[in-house]
Structure 1
Amino acid sequence: MVYCGKPSTACDRCRPRRLKCDRATPSCSQCMRAQVICPGYRDALDLNFRDQSDDVVRKVARQGQRKSVITARTSQQVVRSTPLLTFGLPPSRDELAKGYFFTNFGGCHMPYLLAMSEHPRECSINAALTAVGLAALANLHVSQQLMLAARRHYTTALSQTNHALGDAASFRKNETLAGVILLSTFELITCGDGSFIDRWARHMDGAARLIEIRGTRQLKTPEGLHLFTVLRSQIVIGRVYEGRYTSPILTHLTEEAQKYRSPDFQVLDQLGLAIIRVCNFCAAVKDGTLTQPTEIIRSALDLDADLVSILLSVPDSWVYSTAELPEFKQERTMHAVWGDKIHLYRNLTISTAWNKYRSTRLILHELIINTVHTCPLNIISHQERQTLLDQSQKMSRQIVQDICASVPYHLGTSDRGSNPTISGGITIVWPLLVTATSRFASRDFREWVMSCLDGIGHYLGINQALASARLLRDGVETQSWISSEYGNSSPGSSSSR
């Protein structure tokens, strides 16, 4: 304890300003003149003696920090920030991880997660958010310690989500479904090899059962409708990759979703229905339900026409602009752009939907081309064969160019003035993978795609992109809807390069 002499009796506002304070009540004249609330006065008796233990501790700490300032620049930054400690503790590692998530993913992709995370009972949401944020940061900084912490939070979130799935009161909550999405996102961020697709597909199987049981009630709130839309997209992509059918319930829910969607975004459900039909068509080709070449070609052309008709009548808000670029003279793989055009979209939801449309059409035209190549000459005439090949090849090349033109927008390298985000990186991986495994992918183009995927992995912390790049380098078949009878002519096989 130290005697500090006679303290000032001025109010808390006048004292630091060295103003003459008349100590009037309830407000001094200086505060009244400034038209502010007078903060009040200190108790002079209490201030005659002051405990300076904390001051001594701070002085000793500052002396130690000054000694280490030459060898550790970061220590100097900590010293400069110490006055902030009087107003509150610095954010914890977990809070920083969640902040990274909301900045780079949740803010635009799932904005309702912030409100969910603030609810004291939603421990699973907070654990999952922290796990995803820490995992991305661990990848960026190559930190085993951060990844171990991320996996601990993931284990907690997984346990709590499984508990919620077994509880009748929590089973149908939006928070439970959001937790499932976050857990699948964690798998995409942390995957270490090509088997990530199988693990992610298993997550999607569980998600599919969950949204089917939730029924149409989930579509009546903005959060529930958005969660359904996000999961439907991922489920259908997984089914297309595996060559499996979707359930009739998913089709019914997609039809019902249009009733609760704003007019400008009903195209999402129309497109969803068309892609579901394509998914079931690919499954029928794979399991041998459809075997006649003419029937396969006719069905593929009908489905392609349905897709085109949907996107020809999109609202004005869905129309994107195209910017011309100067020709690059340097090596292509060093640039984030392939070709001489880039697309600019209103938002990531719209650009992602366009690329799903393009990827689906590319799959259909690849299937048409493979069917024509393997079809006996006595079934399709030479002229019909050549016409089909010319049309599908021309359309496929245009689709590949359009997907490539969207890459700068997703990676934040266009003039839209934003930084790359996790959501932008994740949503472009599948279209890039589809284009790179098409028969129109030259060696240089595949190298460019792999460089894009490597960039997504290294700069955004998404291991899914790195694993996809390895799949391409290894020449692994990634289009399982192509029947094995096509053999080496399949677009994903290395011999077709």
Structure 2
Amino acid sequence: MEMRFIDVTERTTQGARQGKRKSSKNNSDRKNSSLFSSSSSSSSSSSQSSITKAVVRRRQQQQQHELLPSPTFNFPIPIESVAQVFFFRHYSVAGSIRLYESQRASRMSTLKMMGIVAVGMAGLAISKRDHGVMALARAKYGSTLLSINDAIKVREEVAKESTLAAVTMMARFEIIACQDCSTQEAWICHLQGAAVMLRHWTKEEWDKVTNPRTFLHFFYMLVMGCIIKRTSVSAHIRKIVQSYPLFKLDAQVEPATRLFDIVCKLADLHSCQVTQVTERVSTAMSIEKELLAWKSDLPENWKYSLDENKLNKAYGPSCHVYASPWQSHIWTHYRICRHVAHSVLLQYLDTLALPIAKAHPALIEACASQREASREIQSIMMRDLCASMPYILGFYDKTKGDNMLFPQHWGVFGLLGSIQAMVGVAGIFEQDVGWLCVMLKYIGSRLGIGQALVMERCLKAQRADMI
């Protein structure tokens, strides 16, 4: 951090000299006055002389305290340093303390630091509504992209974690700096580029990975982007998650790995790889069964509890409390995945409505029953999402459980991607618009994420159209 000190040596010295001259002059005046008094009145009593000396001593003591003026300092902090602090407080995967512990032994790459500064500066600009800082952030974003383009021309640089991290930070920059609906999907192209980079990773590179959760978070965001774009997840990404042991050995990671495979199947379904409508309905029902099996196979420590919501009544009277932020993150994907799966199923059932109008009454009744059940499941998933928001947004005891992935950090980016996919595929019920807008406004203003504010405006416009 740069600090500029103002040299006050000369000022202080001048003050001392002026104070000394002033003191000498006052002493001289008092001496002349005493002589004059002595010559004019030689009969002054000894008591008056003692009083005069006491007054002189007191004035001398006061002057000694006033000799040196208080020095002033000016410490201008560069905006880059402020941006770094903002990033580590709000967007770091493991929080600033853990990041410091992991980085202090090794030098952080210039490319990664450029991405951190760009993202932190953008978040700072959004939270403070500072257009000047946003202009600086976009300039830093541009220079980071140029540096990334130079780096990926070299095979060794492509396989570095720091290069991949810089690319994913560009995705977060797009989410933070988003200003209107036309740029809401800009973050997806960066994640797709990062996914291509992983083709060049070898087993040796993967053996160096110590925290598979950060990669799973990246993969979940990628699959949500695929749902938004109506495309399938790349085969090599699915193979990475399925084949490497680091995604299965950890008891806290294994459930997330199993769920990821199911979400990939949902992306395939939504991308219309399955052509026959009846086959689509069957596939959607199969995904629903796998989701129910995933929930029933969860370890006991993955279960959440219900508590009274005492903080923000916009999320209802009760709230979910989880054993760790990581679990709440995966539960969110589960609920949104089920909501989207039943939305797709309902669309296919509507497509089948006309052909089966003259079909067997049992088939017509089964379709009607499934529609009712799917709408009920969607309603339950939204209620559960609403009840989990107080915990997800950080209204919980951070000293309890495993805080490896704070929801209010990277988890919020995953949450926004999932909400964006859900809104794009399924839409939102009128009764859910209120709490979603409260959530999005909090994320946008508190964490400086522009896309949350854009989504809030879009939902409010939709609610106005409903009315």
Corresponding pairs, count: 396
Residue of structure 2 equivalent to 1:141: 128
Measure, in 2, the Cα distance between the counterparts of 1:298 and 1:146.
52
Alpha-carbon distance in structure 2 between the residues aligned to 1:438 and 1:494: 18
Aligned to 1:365: 342
Q: SS of the counterpart of 2:91?
A: helix
Query: Structure 1 stretch 380-389 or stretch 298-307: which is displaced more?
Result: 380-389
The answer (yes or no) to whether the contact 2:315–2:390 under 8 Å persists in 1 is no
TM-score (norm 2): 0.75
Q: Is this contact kept in 2: 1:117–1:126, CA < 8 A?
A: no
Contact 2:89-2:95 at 8 Å conserved across structures: no
Change (3 A) 1:148 1:80: farther
Q: Which moved more, 1:424-433 or 1:399-408?
A: 424-433
User: Which amino acid letter does the alignment assign opposite residue 283 of structure 1?
Assistant: S
CA separation of 1:236/1:81 partners in 2, compared to 1, >3 Å: closer, same or farther? farther
C-alpha separation in 2, matches of 1:208 and 1:125: 17
What's the counterpart of residue 82 of structure 2? 96
Q: Are 1:342 and 2:324 matched, yes or no? A: no
Distance 1:109 1:307, change over 3 A: farther
Q: CA deviation at 1:305?
A: 1.2
Residues 1:231 and 1:60: Cα distance change in structure 2 (over 3 Å):
farther
Matched, 1:472 2:459: yes
Counterpart for residue 303 of structure 1: 287
Once residues 270 and 246 of structure 1 are traced to their aligned partners in structure 2, the CA distance between those partners, rounded to angstroms, is 15
Contact 1:344 1:406 (8 Å CA) reproduced: yes
The aligned residue for residue 280 of structure 1 is 268
Higher RCO, Cα 8 Å, sep 6+ = 2
For 1:404-415, list aligned pairs within 5 A. Answer: 404-414=386-396
- The 3-state SS of whatever aligns with 1:106 is coil
Looking at structure 1, the residues matched to 236 and 70 of structure 2 have their Cα atoms a distance apart, in angstroms, of: 59
Correspondence 1:309-348 to 2 at 5 A: 309-325=293-309, 335=312, 337-348=314-325
State the Cα deviation string for residues 275-332 of structure 1 (Å, max 9, x = none): 11111111126xxx4232x322221111111122123222334222211348xxxxxx
Is contact 1:257-1:269 (8 Å) kept?
no
Q: Which amino acid aligns with 1:322?
A: L
The offset of 1:229, in angstroms, is: 1.9
**Which one-letter code corresponds to 1:219 in the other structure?**
W
**Residues 1:456 and 1:325: Cα distance change in structure 2 (over 3 Å):** closer
Once the 2 structures are TM-superposed, how far is the Cα of residue 116 of structure 1 from its aligned partner? 5.1
| Aligned-residue RMSD, C-alpha | 3.4
Structure number with larger C-alpha Rg: 2
1:389 correspondence with 2:376:
no
405-414 or 219-228, which deviates more:
219-228
Distance 1:172 1:474, change over 3 A: same
Q: State the one-letter code of the partner of 1:303.
A: I
Task: Give, in whole Å, the separation in 1 of the partners of 2:271 and 2:388.
Answer: 28
For the residue of structure 2 that corresponds to 1:322, the secondary structure is strand
Runs of 5+ in structure 2 lacking a partner?
1-6, 16-68, 401-405
Q: Matched residue of 2:158: which SS?
A: coil
1:119 is displaced (CA, Å) by: 4.9
1:433/1:113 CA distance change after superposition, 3 Å: same
Q: Is the 8 A contact 1:258 1:266 kept in 2?
A: no
Distance 1:440 1:282, change over 3 A: closer
Letter in 1 for 2:264: I
Alignment partners' CA distance in 2, 1:60 and 1:455: 54
1:348 corresponds to which letter in structure 2?
Answer: P
From 431, 442, 463, the counterpart of 1:455: 442
TM-superposed deviation, 1:59: 8.1
Aligned counterpart, 1:291: 276
Could you state the TM-score of these two structures normalised by the residue count of structure 1?
0.71
Structure 2 counterpart of 1:373, which letter? D
CA 1:233–1:217: 2 relative to 1, 3 Å: farther
Q: How many angstroms apart in 1 are the aligned matches of 2:252 and 2:437?
A: 35
Q: Distance in 1 between matches of 2:98 and 2:271?
A: 35
Mapped to 1, the partners of 2:284 and 2:88 lie a distance apart of 40
Alpha carbons 1:211, 1:228 under 8 Å: kept = no
Q: Distance between the aligned counterparts of 1:344 and 1:81, measured in 2?
A: 53
- Please say which of residues 426-435 and 309-318 is displaced more in the overlay: 426-435
Distance 1:356 1:256 in 2: 22
Gap runs ≥5 in structure 1: 1-52, 62-78, 327-333, 477-492
